[in-house]
Amino acid sequence: MTDKATAIAAIRKRADQVRVPIYKVCEAVRVSPATLTRWKADPEAARWSTIGRLENHLSKLEAERAISALHMEVL
Q: What share of the chain is helix, strand, coil (3-state, %, to 5)?
A: 80, 0, 20
Tell me the Ramachandran region of residue 19: left when phi exceeds 0, alpha when psi lies from -120 to 50, beta otherwise. left
Which pLDDT value is given to residue 72?
66
The Cα 14–Cα 36 span in angstroms is 14
**Count of domains in the chain?**
1
For the ranges 32-36, 38-42, 58-62, 71-75, the lowest mean pLDDT is seen at 71-75
Q: 1-52, pLDDT tens digit by residue?
A: 469 999 999 999 999 999 999 999 999 999 999 999 999 899 999 999 999 9
For the ranges 4-8, 18-22, 59-63, 70-74, the lowest mean pLDDT is seen at 70-74
- Per the structure, the complete domain to which residue 30 belongs is given by 4-74
